[in-house]
Amino acid sequence: MKIYTRVGDQGLTKQVSGRMVPKTDAQIVMLGDIDELQSYLGVVIASLGNAHITLVAELMTIQRRLYTLEADVSIQRHAKMTAADTTNLEERIDWYVDRVPELKGFILPGGSQAGAQLQVARTVARRAERSAVALHRQQPLAAPILTYLNRLSDYLFVLARYVNVRDGYQEQPSKLDE
Residue range 31-90, pLDDT digits in tens:
999 999 999 999 999 999 887 899 999 999 999 999 999 999 999 899 999 999 999 999
pLDDT reported for residue 18? 85
- Name residue 159's amino acid: L
Q: Into which CATH architecture does domain 9-166 fall?
A: Up-down Bundle (1.20)
Query: What pTM, to 2 d.p., does this model score?
Result: 0.94
CA atoms of 80 and 116, how far apart (whole Å): 31
Q: 86: burial class by Cβ within 10 Å (0-12, 13-18, 19+)?
A: buried
CA atoms of 113 and 83, how far apart (whole Å): 32
Residue range 130-141, pLDDT digits in tens:
999 999 999 999
CA atoms of 102 and 17, how far apart (whole Å): 48
CA atoms of 144 and 150, how far apart (whole Å): 10
Q: DSSP letter at 65?
A: H
CA atoms of 55 and 25, how far apart (whole Å): 34
Residue range 75-85, pLDDT digits in tens:
989 999 999 99
Domain range list for the chain: 9-166
pLDDT of 1 above 90? no
pLDDT of 176 above 80? no
